Amino acid sequence: MQTIITHSDKGQRLAKRLIEAGLEATIIRSPKNYDQLWAENKALIFIGALGICVREIAPFLKDKKTDPAVINIDANGQFVQPVVSGHLGGANELACSLSKRMGAQPVITTVSDTSRLWALDALPARFNWKMECSGNLTRLMAAFVNGRKTALLLEARDKGTLFLETELPSHVDLFLKGSAVNPGDYQLIIAITPFLYDFGTKAIFYRPPMLHAGIGCQRDLLFDEFEKLLLDGFQQKGISPLSLASLGTVELKKNEPAFLKLSEKWNIPLRYFSGDELSKYKVPNPSERVREMTGSAGVAEASAMHLANNTLLIEKTKGHVADKNFTYAVAIDRRFERKGFVEIVGAGPGDPELISVKGKRMLQAADYILYAGSLVPRELTNYAKPGCVVESSAGMDLMLQMKSMKRFYDRGLLIVRLHTGDPCIYGAIQEQMNIMDQWGWQYHITPGISSFQAAAAALKSQFTIPEEVQTIVLTRGEGRTLMPEREQLHKLAESLSTMCIYLSAAIAVKVQQELLTHYPPETPVAVCYKLTWKDEKIYRCTLDTLVQTVEENNLKMTTLIVVGKAIDNRSGFSKLYDPSFTHEFREGIKAESREHGE
């Protein structure tokens, strides 16, 4: 819940403007029930003098961890200032959002923001981590913003660690193993890890949800002693329970009171699986008795392996509560593990600035970049960090590419396989993923802007026309790579859609011949060479002069042929912005109402 508090007519009008701009909030004028508003609201937005705001909230300030976000806006809507709970309460973020709605200036005064440093207290909410501190958090955060020597330990891989790794301040040293950190060399240690370390009173730990615990027990296990022994066991094994993402057990135990209470108290889900599901796992410590009762030779181990899609970090460990036995096992979620990993990145059509933000971060973090040198500008590899190995795959066959990546994967390093455009469109990644699957590698795809999108932008054209052309065909002509009979160009041409033809400049004669079976000779064509590159060239012609255009300009590689009447079209209007068209965000106005000015 958010409330706008105002004391003047001008403030009231500004508040209504914010609501009309999409802000979900209630407007209250000169309230008396501040204690209730303070308790019930996530954010309080004051419009008026800052002094009035400060005096009215002062009696209710308690703790930045629990206080609502408070924003103050001047009555003219020129400045938006977070007053309290800038990071933890989200006041800074809300102030920036409100400023954009109003065209105002956000006034952010927190040191980490003005210094362009990480907001350490905001990282948990941003990246779904849990935080614990071995010393005085305020003093440690002050050490960071004051530029004191800091160690950053990353023993996980997720969106948050990628952000930290690629936005590293100059006073921060990066470590990938806790054993390599010498606490005596640093005034602050920031550790993103599920493991326990004794770094004295100078560490801030962030716990990613990357551990999965499998559990099994005899019926009616006493909870309090079970929980204590489990926590003691985690402590002895050197892992933090704050990094637990889930608990798992066999379906037979889904209603076990101790397990249900643990799930509720620790606020992590309890998942259960059939004996058949768990029996597929070859566990290190099988039990025939457990197999007879549940169908699985090891409930705890198999559950942890199933949840994490990984081998075990902690094998089956036994515990005893009164006359009852229980077991647990732990595995690291394979997606978070800081081991060898391949990110297949779409480079976009060529311009280094058209790569996605995530793609750029991956290039900045990579230990090895293998890029398609015949199609991707080398300038994109300039994002690589010092020490990163960069190689072109232009002269490599498939197995040589895979062996080149394997050198780095086996060392637990991050590899970026950089493909042109979007790697899922004629990117030849399927055969690479096939081998990665066989080798059990972890990989992910970051999409990129395809050349057909760059062509539309360069041509200043929308490739669809309302009620005339509603289909875009991405295809290629038949050259050395055979095309299925149903996808021959002359068959696709029957639809008269906008057609974007890849990898076909060298067979322009055949392309023109097949398209002319259905497209009129005067159909607009754009032959696009090296879209968004420095030496980009675009040749407009008609279908009957396609071959002539290609041959006269000696076009062969990195050329996209676009065919269709949508090129340069300006006719036809969609219903989206028609005043009479009703959709989820706007009620249409009937024609007779418009005629009468209603």
What single-letter amino acid sits at 31? Answer: P
Total number of domains in the chain: 5
* Residue 591 banded pLDDT, cuts 50, 70, 90: low
Compute the distance between CA of residue 527 and CA of residue 530 in angstroms, rounded to an integer: 10
Q: Which residue(s) pair with 538 in the sheet? A: 528
Angle between helices 9-20 and 91-102 (to 10 degrees): 90
- pLDDT (0 to 100) of residue 88: 84
Contact 266, 211 (CB under 8 A): no
Q: Among 142-156, 392-406, 584-598, which is the least confidently predicted range?
A: 584-598
Compute the distance between CA of residue 451 and CA of residue 465 in angstroms, rounded to an integer: 20
Is residue 229 included in any domain, yes or no?
Answer: yes
* Residue 264 banded pLDDT, cuts 50, 70, 90: very high
For the cut 90, the answer to whether the pLDDT of residue 524 exceeds it is yes
What single-letter amino acid sits at 578? Answer: D
Residue with tokens 């994967």: 409
Query: Mean pLDDT over residues 271-288, rounded?
Result: 94
Q: Report residue 71 CA to chain centroid gap.
A: 29
Residues 445 and 474 in one domain: no
What's the whole-number average pLDDT of the chain? 93
Residues 243 and 345 in one domain: no
For the cut 80, the answer to whether the pLDDT of residue 344 exceeds it is yes
* Residue 579 banded pLDDT, cuts 50, 70, 90: confident
For the cut 60, the answer to whether the pLDDT of residue 597 exceeds it is no
The CATH number for 282's domain is 3.30.420.180
- pLDDT (0 to 100) of residue 479: 87
Residues 301 and 234 in one domain: yes
Q: 363 by DSSP, 3-state: which?
A: helix
Residues 167 and 236 in one domain: no
* Residue 592 banded pLDDT, cuts 50, 70, 90: low
Query: Mean pLDDT over residues 196-200, rounded?
Result: 96
pTM over 0.85: no
Residue with tokens 């030779």: 297
Q: Pick left, alpha or beta for residue 85 (phi over 0 → left; psi -120 to 50 → alpha; otherwise beta).
A: left
- pLDDT (0 to 100) of residue 560: 96
Written as one string, the DSSP assignment of 145-169 is HTT--EEEEE---SHHHHHHHHS--
Residues 515 and 503 in one domain: yes
Domain that holds residue 59: 2-109
- pLDDT (0 to 100) of residue 508: 95
Per-residue pLDDT of 450-507, as tens digits, reads 999 999 999 999 999 998 999 999 999 998 889 999 999 999 999 999 999 999 999 9
Per-residue pLDDT of 106-115, as tens digits, reads 999 988 888 8
Contact 104, 82 (CB under 8 A): no
Is residue 579 included in any domain, yes or no?
Answer: no
What does the DSSP 8-state code read for residue 52? H
**Among candidate residues 157, 185, 207, the one where a domain is terminated:** 207
* Residue 124 banded pLDDT, cuts 50, 70, 90: very high
Return phi, psi of residue 188, to 5°: -150, 140
Determine the length of the chain. 598
Compute the distance between CA of residue 284 and CA of residue 484 in angstroms, rounded to an integer: 49
pLDDT > 90 fraction of the chain, expressed in percent and rounded: 86
Is residue 569 included in any domain, yes or no?
Answer: no
Residue with tokens 């704050």: 242
Contact 452, 476 (CB under 8 A): no
Is residue 17 included in any domain, yes or no?
Answer: yes
Compute the distance between CA of residue 450 and CA of residue 350 in angstroms, rounded to an integer: 10
Residues 436 and 460 in one domain: no
